[in-house]
């Protein structure tokens, strides 16, 4: 909506120099508009007129993009918008002039030669974690040591660009967070940020991203790539290792964890609401005896769409070779053929959805199936592995970027195995998780969380395992 014409040569009234406090009609009216149209967020504190005008302008621009004035049937709402525009016409005009000037400067800079630069980004995690239970999974004599551990993870990323549109990243990492499967008897208990190299600094990731056109982007990994890095996530609040789910299982669909190393991917936006992505990763690429296509590998294809502004869907297909272990399911899911097969090919299918019920609540869900086949055994036996999960995210309306997350699901389970009935999981484990990501400042976040694994290793005879952590993340 265009702001009314204002006369720049009039004398500013005294009332237009005063700050806008929380109890004023201006503040309350704008806050109501933000809730109604989900156009921005505003803190409950006094703002000067320029700050308030900036928030108002952002909200008006959002409303303009979503509706026309003819769509506003509530006369009271329309009157309130017009009154705010008139009250802050001078500030809005000044703001628009500044934006026009900034756009002119940006256009000038874009025409000039781009100068490569290097930026340093960092993330440090300190975590206090504990685990408890009876005996280790599939053991009657080895108890779970109920201890607390303090661990850390450091990541430093050097990012550079040669054209202004591409990005070269070199990531260094040091960490000492243990994999809890060694202490609980099951990888279902693993944390989402684990890994231990005795805090020795190593190059963890090396990748290069560049555009092939306005709607197409290419990604190359020389090191540290995973299938999930090539495709969008429709539930991104859960996927981050430093700010998402506290468990490995909760972060992403396990079928996307079949493969890692060097790789190549391409992502193309078919339109504003539809994306198609492809990716390929392989390990041991520098081994002349195996090469790129004979080493353990994984290939992914995913269609991601947003049919409405409040819903997102993805459909995933993966083909892998000797990369069956997802790091999240029972031991049998990593090798359903009793360690006799040396050539296991797998076709996997998955689907994921997210529904933004309102600005504060998002409901998500996912399913995954893996059909594995032993190509070097007589009769080429096959096995089917399944997994599912439901996720719920509730944003804190008082704290930007803070939210509570909940995950309920079944870690990967062998539901069928033609190699032998005794090589299929007879029971079903259940993963129950709750965490709260509290964004203390722009650079500090604290995430306390707890998850419970019932019938670990898909065996009702095993004792329930409890894993808790308080993850503190520093970013700069």
**pLDDT digits 0-9 by tens, 278-331:** 999 998 777 777 767 777 899 999 999 999 989 999 999 999 999 999 999 999
pLDDT, residue 70, reads 43
Question: What is the pTM assigned to this prediction?
Answer: 0.76
| pLDDT higher at 70 or 331 | 331
Long-range contacts of 113-117 (CB under 8 A, 24+ apart): 114/161, 114/162, 114/163, 114/164, 116/160, 116/161, 116/162, 117/160, 117/161
3-state secondary structure of 263: strand
Range of the structural domain that residue 83 is part of: 14-111
309 and 391 part of one domain = yes
The CA-based diameter of the chain, rounded to the nearest angstrom, is: 92
Q: Is the pLDDT of residue 29 over 90?
A: no
Res. 346: pLDDT tops 90: yes
pLDDT at 115: 60
Residues 209 and 357 in one domain: yes
Same domain, 366 and 248: yes
Residue 315 lies in a domain: yes
Identify the pLDDT of residue 111: 61
Least confident of 1-10, 277-286, 318-327, 464-473: 1-10
In a domain, 291, yes or no: yes
pLDDT band at 112 (very low <50, low <70, confident <90, very high): low
Confidence at residue 5, expressed as pLDDT on a 0 to 100 scale: 38
Best-predicted range by mean pLDDT (49-53, 64-68, 373-377, 432-436):
432-436
Residues 260 and 385 both lie in one domain = yes
Q: Does residue 121 surpass a pLDDT of 50?
A: yes
| DSSP H or E stretch at residue 206 | strand 202-211
Per-residue pLDDT reduced to its tens digit, 224-252: 999 999 999 999 999 999 999 999 999 99
Residues 311 and 424 in one domain: yes
Q: In this structure, are strands 274-282 and 195-196 parallel, antiparallel, or unpaired?
A: unpaired
Last residue of a domain, one of 57, 77, 111: 111
Does a structural domain hold residue 448?
Answer: no
DSSP class of residue 256?
G
Q: Which residues contact 328 (CB under 8 A, 6 or more apart)?
A: 187, 188, 190, 248, 249, 254, 257, 387, 411, 412
Q: What pLDDT is stored for residue 183 in this prediction?
A: 92
Instruction: Judge if 222 and 300 occupy the same domain.
Output: yes
Which of 19-28, 150-159, 361-370 bottoms out in mean pLDDT, i.e. has the lowest? 19-28
CA distance 332 to 254: 15
Q: Which pLDDT belongs to residue 74? A: 65
The pLDDT, as a whole number, for residue 343 is 92
For residues 214 and 65, membership in a common domain is answered with no
The residue behind tokens 């809005």 is 92
- 93 or 150, greater pLDDT: 150
E strands, 241-381, are 260-271, 274-282, 297-308, 311-321, 344-358, 361-374
Answer yes or no: do 204 and 90 share one domain. Answer: no
| Average pLDDT of the residues in 114-136 | 88
Query: Looking at residue 117, what is its pLDDT?
Result: 76
pLDDT at 16: 46
Residues 375 and 279 in one domain: yes
With respect to residue 328, please indicate whether it lies within any of the assigned structural domains: yes
- Does 235 lie in the same domain as 107? no
**pLDDT over 70 at 72, yes or no:** no
CATH number at residue 348: 2.40.160
- Assess if residue 121 is contained within a domain: no
Q: Strand 444-454 and strand 465-475: pairing? A: antiparallel
CB 174 within 8 A of CB 202: yes
pLDDT at 6: 38
Are residues 272 and 359 both part of a single domain?
Answer: yes
DSSP structural state of residue 183: H
Q: Is residue 465 part of a domain?
A: no
**How does strand 195-196 pair with strand 216-226?**
unpaired
- Per the structure, the count of domains in the chain is 2
Q: Between the CA atoms of 397, 399, 400 and 405, what dihedral angle is there, to the nearest 10 degrees?
A: -80
- Rounded CA-CA distance 259/225 in Å is 9
Is 127 inside a domain boundary? no
Output the average pLDDT for the chain: 87
Whole-number Å distance between alpha carbons of 13 and 318: 66
Which carries the bigger pLDDT value, residue 32 or residue 406?
406
What span, in angstroms and rounded, lies between the C-alpha atoms of 449 and 407?
11
CA atoms within 13 A on the CB side of 29: 19
pLDDT score at 52:
81
21 belongs to a structural domain: yes
pLDDT band at 18 (very low <50, low <70, confident <90, very high): low
Mean per-residue pLDDT, 260-266: 93
Task: Give percent above pLDDT 90 in the chain.
Answer: 63
Asked if 106 and 181 sit in the same domain, the reply is: no
- How does 326-337 read in b/e, with b if 16+ C-beta sit within 10 Å? bbbbbbbbbbbb
What percentage of the chain exceeds 70 in pLDDT?
Answer: 90
């Amino acid at each position: 909506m265009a702001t009314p014409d204002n006369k720049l040569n009039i004398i500013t009234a005294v009332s237009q120099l005063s700050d806008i406090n929380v109890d004023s009609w201006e503040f309350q009216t704008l806050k109501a508009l933000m809730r109604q149209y989900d156009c921005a967020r505003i803190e409950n504190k006094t703002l000067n007129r320029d700050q308030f005008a900036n928030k108002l302008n952002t909200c008006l621009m959002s409303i303009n993009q979503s509706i026309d004035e003819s769509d506003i049937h509530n006369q009271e709402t329309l009157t309130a918008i017009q009154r705010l525009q008139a009250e802050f016409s001078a500030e809005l005009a000044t703001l628009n002039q500044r934006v026009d000037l900034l756009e002119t400067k940006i256009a000038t800079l874009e025409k000039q030669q781009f100068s490569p630069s290097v930026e340093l980004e960092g993330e440090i995690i300190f975590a206090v974690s504990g685990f408890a239970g009876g005996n280790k999974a599939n053991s009657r004599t080895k108890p779970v040591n109920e201890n607390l551990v303090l661990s850390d993870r450091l990541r430093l990323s050097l990012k550079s660009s040669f054209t202004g549109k591409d990005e070269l990243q070199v990531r260094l990492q040091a960490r000492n967070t243990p994999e809890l499967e060694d202490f609980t008897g099951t990888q279902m208990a693993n944390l989402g940020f684990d890994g231990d190299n005795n805090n020795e600094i190593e190059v963890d990731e090396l990748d290069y991203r560049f555009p092939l056109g306005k709607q197409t982007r290419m990604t190359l990994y020389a090191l540290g790539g995973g299938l999930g890095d090539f495709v969008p996530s429709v539930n991104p609040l859960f996927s981050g290792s430093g700010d998402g789910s506290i468990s490995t299982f909760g972060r992403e669909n396990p079928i996307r964890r079949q493969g890692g190393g060097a790789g190549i991917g391409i992502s193309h936006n078919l339109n504003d609401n539809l994306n198609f992505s492809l990716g390929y990763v392989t390990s041991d690429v520098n081994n002349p005896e195996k090469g790129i296509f004979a080493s353990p590998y994984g290939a992914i294809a995913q269609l991601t769409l947003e049919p409405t502004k409040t819903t997102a869907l993805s459909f995933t297909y993966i083909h892998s070779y000797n990369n069956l272990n997802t790091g999240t399911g029972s031991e049998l899911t990593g090798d359903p053929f009793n360690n006799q097969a040396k050539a296991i090919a797998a076709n996997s299918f998955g689907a994921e959805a997210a529904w933004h019920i309102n600005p504060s609540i998002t409901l998500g869900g996912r399913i995954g199936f893996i059909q594995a086949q032993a190509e070097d055994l007589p009769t080429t036996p096959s096995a089917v592995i399944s997994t599912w999960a439901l996720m719920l995210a509730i944003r804190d309306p008082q704290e930007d970027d803070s939210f509570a997350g909940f995950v309920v699901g079944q870690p990967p389970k062998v539901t069928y195995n033609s190699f032998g009935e005794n090589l299929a999981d007879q029971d079903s484990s259940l993963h129950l998780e709750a965490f709260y990501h509290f964004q203390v400042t722009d650079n500090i976040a604290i995430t306390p969380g707890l998850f419970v694994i019932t019938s670990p290793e898909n065996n009702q005879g095993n004792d329930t395992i409890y894993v808790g952590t308080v993850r503190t993340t520093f970013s700069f």
